[in-house]
Structure 1
Amino acid sequence: MGCSIANPTSSEVSLQYGAGPFDSRKFVECETARDVSDVNDDHYYYPSGQRDFTFGDGEGLDAAALTSTTQDSQEIKVTGTVKFTLNTDCAQFTDPTGKVWPGGKLQMFHELIAYKYEAAPTDGGEQMEEGWSELLRNYVGAALDRATDNEALKYPWQKLYTDTAAKAQWEKDVLEQLPDILRSLTQGVDLITINSVLLQKPGIQAALVQGLTEKQAAELRGQAVEVDKQAAASFPGGIVAYQQYQQQQAVNQAIKDGKVQVLPVPQGSPVIVSPTK
């Protein structure tokens, strides 16, 4: 009689289902080590360690960048990484609907969600199937989108863009809210555990960047004027003497930079400078 071998790696857990010619398709057991079973049985392999869900611009990410609206009705681009762990608990439990799952929360995840996406490989040590990425977008991604939307509404865009403390608090609030939203998508059961959320500095519209740059430039000009006023007030000879000093400093710097040239003159005459061509 033939047999099949379940051989999960140290970072995998497999689910075995009876699928022989005389068997109805049913759950058999949850496996974390090599196991020999009926040749017609099916095995589905899931990761037991921490994984990343990345979202942003560019190739190779799990999802595109998200968008959220801030308190002052500005749209921001949200990018980052969510670290999560699939709940591979195989202990029998009863879900909120009263259904008993002999293979634990991993069996529930497989039958209610992952099997529909064809997300799990049927051989150990293989990459997750293409459906895995779609599954993550529809569960982790959807929950994250709602959480970032909810929390962004608490802040004006400039706070999230320029205030490190506000951005860190926003990130923390998203992390705290995300598990509850995710549970609402999985019948109230923790099938996916969120470990951390890292949000990059939000992207803002070009017009806002330009406006912020102009505002900062204006503030710097105002600060420079104030410094000049204070320096002039305490300069020997007063404002007039200070202005003459500034003009001379400008000429000296221009000569140093090669922007003007010094013309030779008789000793004792004023120094004559002219712009270089």
Structure 2
Amino acid sequence: MSARKSTGDAGQGDGRGRRLVLRGVLLAVIAFVVLGFVASGCSKVSTAPDEVRLHYAGGPFEAIKFEKCISPSSGATYLGPGDTSYSYPFGQRTFDFSGSPDAESKPIRIVSKDNVEMEVAGSATFTLNTSCQTLRRFHEKIGLKYGAYFGGSESSDGWRRMLNFYFKQPLDRAMDAASQEFEWKKLFNDPDAKQQWEQRVGQLARQFIRETAGEDYFCQPNYGGSGDCGDVVLTIQKPEPPQTLIDALAAEQAAKQQNLAQQQINTKVKTELESIQDLVRVLGPQGAILWKAIQDGRVQVVPVPQGGAINITPQSR
């Protein structure tokens, strides 16, 4: 009896040992999973007043899918393990092509009707369409391609590259097309021609921007997310020709002014000659000379009594 009991106790002890080992392994696996969860961990994001975010759920072992938009000025939003969010600007933004150090682009080059190359500086003011589903389409079609979202390592470069493609190229096309209708002097010097050119550029630019983007992603500066998207607002400076042409135009204007002045001098001389001819016809040559001398103050007229003598003495000058 004691031998059998002893053998049974040993079996029970082995069973308990195996269960303890299995429990330890299970706890280790759970701990490993928990640590992995924590490592890949949850995160939280919040948005500034000029920012909107797109939240995508998913991780290494599941498909990534769109979750929701996070509105401006939102408090902490928790993202699950593997989730991502992408930040985009909310409110007015500008594509600056003035060529200044912080501008997105250099001035745009155009060619006039008479084949003169000119430079145009300016800006395009707009609001990114942050209506949730529209912004999602923009992100998936354009934003991801260029890395145009903010907060990442390539946010500034990506946003700039995106604007250069979706703004600069349409603007370049629009300005070139409109400039073929005007000569360079009119674009540079004629306010009416410049106004017509600006209107034409505006029409073509808005058309080409929409065509390039494929949808109304870029709206008028005060767009609030509902209703008509509106048009991008363009501010463009007077086209500038090469400095050599500006100098030549200035010389041409100076010559015109000199010619006008000479014409006025000639007119005055002609009038004076005609006046002298009239005096000669009336007074004779000597009388005309005397009249002219009196008018110029070179001869003094002294009244004398009737029958008296008179001496005429020219004044020394």
TM range (shorter): 0.7 to 0.9
**TM-score normalised to structure 1 length:** 0.74
Bigger-Rg structure (1/2): 2
1:208 aligns to what?
A: 245
**CA separation of 1:21/1:127 partners in 2, compared to 1, >3 Å: closer, same or farther?**
closer
Cα-Cα RMSD:
2.6
> Runs of 5+ in structure 1 lacking a partner?
91-103, 241-267, 271-277
Tell me the residue number matched to 1:129.
156
**Aligned-pair identity (%):** 32
1:116 match: 145
| 1:212 to 1:25, Cα distance in 2 relative to 1, 3 A | same
Select the residue among 81, 86, 104 that pairs with 1:62.
104
User: Displacement, 1:139?
Assistant: 0.9
- The answer for the alignment partner of 2:201 in structure 1 is 174
The Cα offsets for residues 26-73 of structure 1, whole Å up to 9 and x where unpaired, read as 111111023223143111111111111111334221012211111111
CA distances 1:158-186 after superposition (whole Å, capped 9, x unpaired): 11101122212212221222121112112
Instruction: Give per-residue Cα distances to partners, 1:114-170, cap 9 Å, x unaligned.
Output: 1111121247xx994321101100111111111111111111001110112221221
CA distance in 1, matches of 2:267, 2:185: 31
**What secondary structure does 2:232 align onto?**
strand
Per-residue deviation, 1:235: 5.9
Tell me: CA distance 1:7–1:163, structure 2 relative to 1, closer, same or farther (3 Å): same
Corresponding residue number in structure 2 for 1:17: 56
1:87-121 deviation per Cα after TM superposition (whole angstroms, max 9, x unaligned): 1111xxxxxxxxxxxxx111111111111111212
> Comparing both structures, which one devotes a greater share of its residues to strand?
1
Deviation at 1:269, TM superposition (A): 6.3
CA contact (8 A) 2:206 2:232 kept: no
Choose the corresponding residue for 1:4, options 40, 43, 63: 43
| Cα 1:238/1:81, change in 2 over 3 Å | farther
Q: Tell me, in whole angstroms, the C-alpha distance in 2 between the residues paired with 1:239 and 1:223.
A: 25
Distance 2:146 2:68 in 1: 21
User: How far, CA to CA, are the matches of 2:124 and 2:92 in structure 1?
Assistant: 10
**Which residues in structure 2 correspond to 1:157-236 (within 5 Å)?**
157-187=184-214, 189-193=215-219, 194-232=231-269
- When residues 221 and 178 of structure 1 are mapped into structure 2, their CA distance, relative to the original with a 3 A threshold, is same
Uncovered stretches (5+) of structure 2, i.e. residues with no partner = 1-37, 220-230, 278-314
User: CA 1:204/1:214 → structure 2, altered by over 3 Å: closer, same or farther?
Assistant: same
CA separation in 2, counterparts of 1:45 and 1:232?
79
Amino acid at match of 1:118: G
Larger relative contact order (C-alpha < 8 A, sep ≥ 6)?
1
Normalising by structure 2, we get a TM-score of 0.65
| Contact kept in structure 2, 1:55 and 1:79, CA below 8 Å | yes
